[in-house]
Structure 1
Amino acid sequence: MSRYIRQTQLKDFGPVGQKKLSQSKVLVVGLGGLGLPVLQYLNAMGVGTLGLMDQDLIELHNLQRQVLYSEQDIGRLKLEVVHEKLSTQNSQTHFNLHDSFLTKDNALEIIKDYDLVVDATDNFPTRYLINDACVLLKKPFVYGALHSFEGHVSVFNYQNGPTYRCLYPNMPSAEEVPNCNENGVLGVIPGIIGTFQALEAIKVLTGIGEVLSGKLLLFDGLSQRSTQIGFKLNPKNLELKKLQDFYEPLDCDVVPAITAEDFQSLLDSKTDITLIDVRTEEEFTERNLKKAINVPLDCLELASNHITSDDTIYVICQSGKRSEIAVKKLQDQYPNKQFINILGGMNKIASLCP
């Protein structure tokens, strides 16, 4: 019996649809709550080539929604674990492993080799980067986003249809961006939205059904209701000639920063420093640096208890976003001190010292 007989016996799919899948190449950016269900279904259904892209390590708090991982996988690279497990699920699939985050420097070179990109990320800069690269390369991409009990799905740049910028023209500022580490998401919601994304990918690759192009699907998990909102193409968004110089929220303030590599060298040198960790208490308890003092971002007024005689104070969070906000606020409060943001935060530190 054929492995894919339950698909090939479908009148509107058949052997032709299966052949299209086997010849397809899909890049999935992000191996978290959205990326895992996307990959498990595309892999099981017979997509010929899957690109896996991430550089994060598996942490305990991931397991609540990233259900491919187990407790034994904590501390390992997501990329390695996903490759191992998907290879046992379908030995016929060819995998391309991209051990990096998507950046302005690598986006065009990587995406050009794929038919479709699935955005399984959790941040605005990468979404705008994926969009712009896909517009330049004329590649469609499947979008998914999460917030609390809700999720969004759409398909952009499909057959010269609307782009991400047609729906969201401007990137929000750092202060406007909701933070998933603080706001949270119900564990099952990524599975639902990721499965929706996998379905849209199958439709794009095989030409069956009606693709969510020019439509934003809004799913409310608490009411089990979904709504579709239509939006139109702004032709100017297809006139893009090159990638932007950078993909971060525009900000006139220059925030002093240090790379995670340089900060790790500072720690290794045993230099006495003051380090404030502005993550939540739960995040801090799960994993922290020995020298760190936990002052959550929403309790930043308590930092006064820990402002020492040191002229320079380092600030860290999970990814570098909340700590950047904290540095701005602390600098205003204590103009005679220098506060330095640690780029990449605990995510980057963990990748240096797993």
Structure 2
Amino acid sequence: MSEAVAAVGETRGPVASGATLSIDAVGSRAAAIVQNVETVIAGKREAVTAALTVVLAEGHLLIEDVPGVGKTMLAKALARSVDATVSRIQFTPDLLPSDVTGVSVFDQASRKFEFKRGPVFANLVIGDEINRASPKTQSALLECMEERQVTADGTTYRLDAPFTVVATQNPVEMEGTYPLPEAQRDRFMARISMGYPSSADELAMLATRETSSPIDDLGSVVGLDELRAMITAVQHVFTSQPVKEYAVELARTTRDDRQLRLGASPRATLQLIRAAKAHAAMHGRDFVLPDDVDALAVPVLAHRLVPTSRALGSHDRDSGPLIDAIVRRIVGETPVPVGSARRN
């Protein structure tokens, strides 16, 4: 057992439903989750931390990268680290919306239609290769992700909280895929990439996974009530007016930038602040700093933006993704607020 996990186990007891946690407790439990996931996903702390940030901010995560770098493994490891309900959907071209949300089935005994809940009714839903599903099936997630409910045959069914979708997609192999529309991408709080492991991490992987997978022995370190208490604590993290104005200015600047034909939506601004609050809590602070906003600007904003054709044509591909570079430039050019970030 890792030191962080052991320390949390020694200092905490069961958290009752509706209980509150201190910011220090949120930080220690978050560290335990990260360290637990890192026993499976080595050398990717930034990606693991970003994924947990989205969960604590009650958002949805899109993991986009080439095959074989651990996208699904990260989602599964995160799910196993939290004792919550988990479901997995393998998206394919023939998947129907009812295969995701559920379907009404006629019950011969009662002579009534009974709604059979689909895999979306879980605390953490893993959507593997989401861009392989048809646009109609992708759209079935829109209501679930935004309003946390499913409407079928005129009846609305609420999804249990917390509810997070962790979806993966391959940006390289385009045959047989349906790119996510802007409305769908905007539902995701953040998009991250895994990247290739270092040589040392890849060698370590070969040594530990020749006969079995470490995820088979991965257990939970945080219960469902604890996770809910962590999310509640994050919601109460203080955000000063200057920091809010800073986030609004970043989003507004993307809408006026010459290299972009589609800027960040108001939903993006709201989710940027929510993610920043989770980032602050994970670092043991009950207030948001501009640094929290800066740290999350690329993962929260970049996937929502659409560059102009001229910007794409003049971009040097060797310098990295164009959208990421534009967001970093905007962050660098936007004045940082001088006002206090602490609660008065």
Q: TM-score, normalised by structure 2?
A: 0.24
| Higher radius of gyration, 1 or 2 | 1
Structure richer in helix, relative to its length: 2
